[in-house]
Structure 1
Amino acid sequence: MSVVDTRLVQTAVIGTKDSDQPVILPEEPYNLDQFRRHFRGKRFWCGTLLGGCGEELMTKRYETKVCHFAHFPDRTGMAPACHRVANGADSADHLFIKRDLTEWLKAQGVRVQAELRNLGTGPGDAVDFWLPSTRQRLRFQLCLQDYRTWYRAEQELGTSSEQMDWVFGAEGPISANMVQRQGYALRVKCETHGSDRRVLIGVERTGRPVTWSSLDDCRLTSDGLVTPVLEELLSDRSVTQRGKGAWLRPATFPLRADQIVFAIDAKAPTPKHSPLAAEGRYIIAADVKPASSRIIRAHVSLPADVPMPTEQYVYRLHGVARLLLTDPDPQDGAQWAVRADGVIQLSGIEAERTGLWRPGVALPEPVRTTPDVPVPEQRTVTGQTATASGRANSAAQSTSSSSTGPDPDMVTRVRKALEDFARRRTLTAWSTLGLVAKVNLVRLSATDRRDLLIAVDRPASPDKPVLSALVRDSGGRPLPDMTTIIRKLGLQPPTDDVTLKLWCDREKERAYQTHSASGVRLIPARLALGSDGKASGPPIVPQPNKRNAQSGSGHPQRQGLLEEGVARLRKALTQAEELLPRLSGRHHKRLSDTIKGARRRLNTYESARAKGTPYLDWLGSRSDTPSHHARLLLRAIEAVEPHAGPQPTPKTEPPVASQPVPPPRITQPISSSPQGKESGSQSPRDHSADQFDELVNQFREAQRVLDVDRAEQIYRMAGPIYKAQLSPAAQHRNRPILAEMRTWVGVQQPNRSSSLLRRCRRLIHQMRDEKDKLSTDALVALVAEAEALSERVTLSDGEKKDLARWQRHLQTRREAEQSASADDPSENEHVGEARLSQSQILQLASTVRTLLEQTARGQSLTTWGELRRRLGESVLPRLHPDDQGEVLVAVDRDTPANEPLLSSLIVVGDGEIHPLYRHVAFSLDRDVPLSDAALRSEWTVEVLRLRTLWKHR
């Protein structure tokens, strides 16, 4: 009895049973007819290289099912025994790959040796190509392997070749591992075209689909097989360059960042070239201490935008931390480093507990002796008097230390730049300071930057501000090295972040006043610190020193000129105030504005004199002295007096004898200067000079309150007056002032917050899109926030009109509701009940906690507005801030002490910490840092921990 062969064999070889020439049978009958005509006279075999039995095959044509090969029956009519495992269209892909790659390489003039490999599952497990001329090897791995088998094969094949390329047939753990090693993996597949299969080469990358290219589009280079896509990736360094000795990407292991602290060693060499290096990051050598483990010397990889840590502090890793590890090298072995997203500076007590740091007082550093700075006591030499050689060594060390200090030219440039920032009343960062000073500060290490600032501020004295306080980090906080700078200047340093910020803010004001362009300088005293390094009560008003307190000592001529100018200003004010009631229109306004400026300067002088604060006046041609304001006032009087009305008619009553007789009107300026001898009428150029001086005064006021928009508007108005209306002498005198205005406006341009402008525009669009859904209370909140933001940013005319329209709409809605409320008095009975009872707080807290748990599982943040939208205003109305705090406290009352607070997921603005977070944490007896910066860092870590805890709950 015959048995029909039911195996659907799609591939075979032609020629002999051991042939490596594959064919594939078409599945459709009309294609099979063409196949038979093409291979007429050929015999098909179940080839041994296909894992077959070596018997002859015939073609089977069907109209209702797939066409296929079948074995010829034997003499007894039985189908021969065949243990071939793979029968499908891809069962001969290893033969197609061998054939096409061989032809492709020979077409390029490359001699090649191709060999099929049986790795345990069949002859098509792998195909090896060896290129003797270039000593390159290609391994097409078509079956899956475990890592140890693959690693042994790589070591064996890679030893005898200069370049080794792996091309994987299927996606699996080994190809994914290759992607992690070098950023990509090569893949291969075959596609059917008639009775043939064509080879495609692909590039696999993390999180992206495989990009396939035909073999004809690929190239063989000294670095191996390259596809068009891979060529682009190698050119822009998106992946690792291949080749013998090329560095592979390190493996990464997740770590607990909050359990790893480190301190750097500035003397330890920093690796210049390392396989652990990555673009946008830098590596430092540090002493690393994991929790419950010993200290070990290791490398730490940090982002380039994180300031380089210094040896004066201990840091804790922040964000996501991983262990980077390379493959073992025969010479250097395996290399490793700790990779982190950021660092947090530890406080003194925490740092000392780690064993990586001791307080600086244990190792006193020598301070340059100056007459005004107390010199700390130095350690005495043990034993007898120091020998001559000891003195020589000490001198040599001193010379060496001075020779390696900051460059004097760099110190001068940075000092002048900081004085310029103080004159413009602005803070700065390292990048901006380097641009203004024309010094490359980026290349300096943190220690070099610190030493540079110390040199800038030496010698320190009570009447000299510390200019280093003007340099801040990206968040506007004092520099991490500021405490060390203060200590090395011979001053008592603050011991906590809050006091340090107060101290630096006081020095900032001292610098502003010392280098002010105004003639009036009210220099506050340096912040007094107690023995514990904290502020000792309210600021002490500085007592004037002898040269300022004694009117006749020091500079009697300057003191006499100052008093003379004040006297003339008082007389001019009396005359102007008498004339003012008789004026109207623009003449009244001009004299009134001049009186205000003069009165303000006179009040400043009298206030400083009453408090005993040193009053420093720039005399001569400066535009803020009492003498100058007296001249301005007298000029204004002369200009407007012809337009004054008649004297008011005195009353008929006889004058009271006790009333003082008014002094006679002054018709000429009381001044010995040449300006006092001018004619009684004011020329147009004099009037323009007055206008320019008034604009300068208004600019100073806008500069003081950091109103950049107002300052720029004033600068735009002052420019045309300066160019077209001032005399050449006045232009020469005011050129530095106009340049200062232009520089300050230009520097302050980045302070215009584009995020505030975007927020304001979003509010206007929200009111427009949700106009029919917003309640009156919601509209009030949106309009109020938009109004507040509109005062800080510049809106377009259309946006201003939209905001004004919504203000009118809100007013109309309020009037309508008030009218309706007046008609129904019962509605007013519940208006005052804005606070929640304890039961309402607990009920609301349960609902809010459920939503916060869902938010934590979703790995996201939320806002009060989002919670209100999800629950509805009937369930979660707009709460009083105190009620918000009580609800959040109730939400986290049952949260375990070792877990983060769920309320930390509630944010404001663009993901910023909620103002109530400090209150909630304090109410629940959590440790709350004093400084806002430390609180925000802790909050960021808590949010990350919370997401990790709730990810699988």
Structure 2
Amino acid sequence: MSNESFPERRDIYAVLGAPDSRVPVQAPEDRKEARRMKGGNSFYCSTALGGCGGELTFAIGDVNVPHFRHQAGSRCSLISSKSQADRYTHLAMQEALRSWIETMPGFSCRLEVSIENGRTDVLVTGPSFEVALEVQRSALSARNALERTAVYGQRANVVQWLYASKDIEAYKTELADRGWSLRIWWGWAKKECRIGVSYETDNETDVEIKEIGGPLGDWEVTARGLASAHLRKAKEAVERRRAAERERQQQEAEDARLREEAKKAREVEVRKRRIEEQKASRAALLEALKHTPEGLENRWPSSWPQLRGSPSQVAWAESIRARAVALLREELVEEWLPEARGVPVALWLAIQSSASFWINCRFKDTLAIVQTYEHQFGSPGQSRR
């Protein structure tokens, strides 16, 4: 097989001095700087990161960028591994955190401490408390984060996650839930570790995620976890935003309540007007029913019964009956409708005491009333079955 199919693989990470060393290094691109680093030092594939522990050649040529190279024929799983950068960067972050913590009077630090079915990255022991710091560079679900937090929480008073990527699901969930989340960065060039915080704030139209932070010296470890002016500023911004959001929601709820009350008031007013109109129609009907139409003595119904049904049905039906009777009365008085056809209809209507009858019929004109009657009983002169 040709070298074109399998080009030479070059790695830029190693540990300094011994296979189990916890001093990670990255080969610099600058050749002068690389030669200074090489100076009499020895470099190894890290066993702490799952490597083979073999001594590496620090290749500094005129063509290729400086890099570390395993011995020929090595089958180490870390050679050109996609996770190699994450593993060595994770180690660098752990060591930076330990060095920082051990400068604090009364504090000590241990790495990769086993706790039941888990292993915490950095376990900080303070004067009367312990804090677990979890450096997370790879994918992690929100559920797994909660499960691991519960495990580490059996030992530590506080468990805090330091996320190296915004793409981690657990980071996004934590940020959405409480409005802020801790971040961690490592710079190989300056060999500097920084801790910051992502937090929610408002712009003119939407929620914006900002980040602030600084070197480890800006932070301190307390019984409640990491603390700094950066975190206080972020928490204050989140509280202001969420207080404003609560106020906005309360105002929206109050506006909705007022709109609903106004709507109900309008509906009540409409019902009142309708009832008054129905009362007026009923009063007009009752007044009209007191008088027999001229020329219809002894033929016009002598009484119109009280309708049966619910109060709303009765009110509705009475207004319908009032209009129907008025139409029929006018037709008979003006002789547009012969008495022979109209009087039987009037007598028939006078015995309809069910409100539902009038509501279901809703007669629009006199012809509809007469046709309804004659459809059921036949017209004058027509033989009845």
Tell me, yes or no, whether TM beats 0.5. Answer: yes
Q: CA deviation at 1:175?
A: 0.4
Distance 2:233 2:32 in 1: 43
1:71: how far off? Answer: 1.8
1:19 to 2:24 alignment: no
CA contact (8 A) 1:98 1:114 kept: no
Is 1:200 aligned to residue 178 of structure 2?
no
Which residue in 2 is equivalent to 1:71? 70
Give the 3-state SS of the residue equivalent to 1:238 in structure 2.
helix
- Equivalent position amino acid for 1:31 in 2: E
Q: In the TM superposition, what is the alpha-carbon distance from 1:497 to its structure 2 partner?
A: 5.1
Q: Would you say the 8 A contact 1:213–1:227 is kept in 2?
A: no
Q: TM-score scaled to structure 2, two decimals?
A: 0.57
Aligned amino acid, residue 250 of structure 2: P
Partner of 1:211: 212
Q: Distance in 2 between matches of 1:90 and 1:532?
A: 78
Q: Kindly tell me: are residues 184 and 31 of structure 1, through their superposed partners in 2, closer, same or farther at Cα, counting changes over 3 Å?
A: same
TM superposition shift of 1:222: 3.5
CA gap of 1:533–1:305, structure 2 versus 1, over 3 A, is farther
State the match for 1:344 in structure 2: 260
| Aligned equivalents of 1:99, 1:181: Cα separation in 2 | 30
Please say if residues 495 and 533 of structure 1, whose CA atoms lie closer than 8 Å, have aligned partners that are also in contact.
no
Aligned residues: 263
CA-to-aligned-CA distance 1:203-249 (integer Å, 9 cap, x gap):
22353253342222223234321343322123455389xxxxxxxx9
Q: Residue in 2 aligned with 1:44?
A: 43
Q: Deviations over 1:3-58 (max 9, x none)?
A: 99933221111232112121222122121122123xx2x32110112321110012
Whether the aligned pair in 1 keeps the contact of 2:133 and 2:162 (CA below 8 Å) is yes
Counterpart selection for 1:9 from 11, 26, 29: 11
CA contact (8 A) 1:185 1:203 kept: yes
Q: Report whether the alignment pairs 1:185 with 2:181.
A: yes
Q: Structure 1 280/81 Cα, relative in aligned 2: closer, same or farther at 3 Å?
A: closer
Counterpart secondary structure, 1:107:
coil
1:290-369 → structure 2 map (5 Å cutoff): 302-304=249-251, 306-307=253-254, 344-345=260-261
Identify if the C-alpha distance between structure 1 residues 281 and 212 changes in structure 2 by more than 3 Å, giving closer, same or farther: closer
Indicate the structure with greater strand content: 2
Alpha-carbon separation, structure 2, partners of 1:108 and 1:180: 33
- Correspondence 1:160 to 2:76: no
What is the match of residue 904 of structure 1?
none
Local SS of the residue matching 2:239: coil
1:127: which partner in 2? 121
Q: Deviations over 1:530-555 (max 9, x none)?
A: 68267999xxxxxxxxxxxxxxxxxx
Q: State the distance in 1 between where 2:276 and 2:113 align.
A: 76
Q: Which segments of 5 or more consecutive residues in structure 2 lack a partner in the other structure? A: 201-207, 281-385
Q: In 2 relative to 1, CA 112–94 (structure 1 residues): closer, same or farther, beyond 3 Å?
A: farther
Q: What residue number does 1:917 align with?
A: none
In structure 2, distance between residues paired with 1:211 and 1:200: 10
**Match among 75, 99, 105 for residue 103 of structure 1:** 99
1:428-577 alignment, distance < 5 Å: 496=268, 532=275
Contact 1:184 1:239 in 2 (8 A): no
Q: Which residue of 1 aligns with 2:226?
A: 225
- Compared with structure 1, are the counterparts of its residues 27 and 305 closer, same or farther at alpha carbon in structure 2 (3 Å cutoff)? same
**AA partner of residue 232 (structure 1):** K
Aligned counterparts of 1:138 and 1:191: Cα–Cα separation in 2: 19
**AA paired with 2:260?**
I
What's the CA shift string for 1:110-140, capped at 9, x where partnerless? Answer: 423322389xxxxxx9723232532322111
Residue 28 of structure 1 aligns with which residue? 30
Q: Is the contact made by 1:183 and 1:205 (CA closer than 8 Å) also made in structure 2?
A: yes
Give the equivalent residue in structure 2 for 1:796: none
Equivalence map 1:625-704=2 (5 Å): none
Whole-angstrom distance in 2 between the partners of 1:112 and 1:211: 27
* 1:114 and 2:115 are equivalent in the alignment: no
Secondary structure in 2 aligned to 1:187? Answer: strand
Q: Kindly provide the CA deviation profile for residues 402-440 of structure 1, in whole angstroms up to 9, marking residues without a partner as x.
A: xxxxxxxxxxxxxxxxxxxxxxxxxxxxxxxxxxxxxxx
In structure 1, C-alpha distance between the alignment counterparts of 2:48 and 2:259, rounded to whole Å: 60
CA apart distance, 1:89: 5.1
| Aligned mates of 1:31, 1:345 — CA distance in 2 | 76
| Cα separation, 2, equivalents of 1:44 and 1:239 | 51
Distance across 2 between alignment mates of 1:530 and 1:89: 79
| Amino acid across the alignment from 1:221 | T
The CA deviation string for residues 119-168 of structure 1, in whole angstroms up to 9 with x for no partner, is: xxxxxx97232325323221112221233322211221224333221111
Distance 2:277 2:125 in 1: 75
Output the CA distance in 2 between the equivalents of 1:46 and 1:216: 31
Deviation at 1:280, TM superposition (A): 6.0
Q: CA RMSD in A?
A: 3.9
The AA in structure 2 aligned to 1:307 is E
Cα distance in 1 for partners of 2:191, 2:69 equals 20
Whole-angstrom distance in 2 between the partners of 1:239 and 1:96:
36
Q: Secondary structure at the match of 1:166?
A: strand
TM-score (norm 1): 0.25
Contact persistence 2:132–2:158 (CA under 8 A)? yes
The 2-side partners of 1:18 and 1:190 are apart by 21
CA distance in 2, matches of 1:226, 1:205: 15
**Counterpart of 1:697?**
none
1:138 maps to 133
Contact 2:51 2:77 in 1 (8 A): yes
Counting only pairs closer than 5 Å after superposition, residues 707-726 of structure 1 correspond to structure 2 as none
Residues 10 and 88, structure 1, Cα contact 8 Å, conserved in 2: no
- What is the aligned partner in structure 2 of residue 81 from structure 1? 75
2:56 maps to which residue? 57
SS at match of 2:134: strand
Distance change >3 Å, CA 164–CA 497, structure 1 → 2: farther
Q: Provide the rounded CA distance (Å) in 1 between the counterparts of 2:193 and 2:157.
A: 25
Deviation at 1:302, TM superposition (A): 4.5
2:171 corresponding residue in structure 1 = 175
Name the CA distance, whole Å, in 2 between partners of 1:530 and 1:187.
66
Provide Cα deviations, 1:913-951, integer angstroms capped at 9, x if missing partner.
xxxxxxxxxxxxxxxxxxxxxxxxxxxxxxxxxxxxxxx
Contact in 1 for aligned 2:10/2:67 (Cα 8 Å): yes
Q: Which residue of 2 aligns with 1:913?
A: none
User: Is this contact kept in 2: 1:203–1:229, CA < 8 A?
Assistant: yes
| Residues 5 and 79, structure 1, Cα contact 8 Å, conserved in 2 | no
CA pair 50-135 structure 1, distance change in 2 beyond 3 A:
closer
Which structure exhibits the higher relative contact order, with contacts defined as CA atoms closer than 8 Å and separated by 6 or more residues? 2
Task: For residues 500-532 of structure 1, give each alpha carbon's deviation from its aligned partner in whole angstroms, at most 9, with x where no partner exists.
Answer: xxxxxxxxxxxxxxxxxxxxxxxxxxxxx8682
Going from structure 1 to structure 2, the CA distance change for 1:26 and 1:237 (only over 3 Å counts) comes to closer
Counterparts of 1:828-907 in structure 2 under 5 Å?
none
Q: CA–CA distance in 1 between the matches of 2:68 and 2:83?
A: 9
Equivalence for 2:330: none
Q: Distance in 1 between matches of 2:83 and 2:30?
A: 17
CA distance in 1, matches of 2:176, 2:194: 23
> Following the alignment from structure 2 to structure 1, what is the Cα–Cα distance between the partners of residues 43 and 195?
29
SS of residue matched to 1:33: helix
Amino acid of the structure 2 residue aligned with 1:94:
H
Deviation per residue, 1:718-761 (Å, 9 max, x gap):
xxxxxxxxxxxxxxxxxxxxxxxxxxxxxxxxxxxxxxxxxxxx
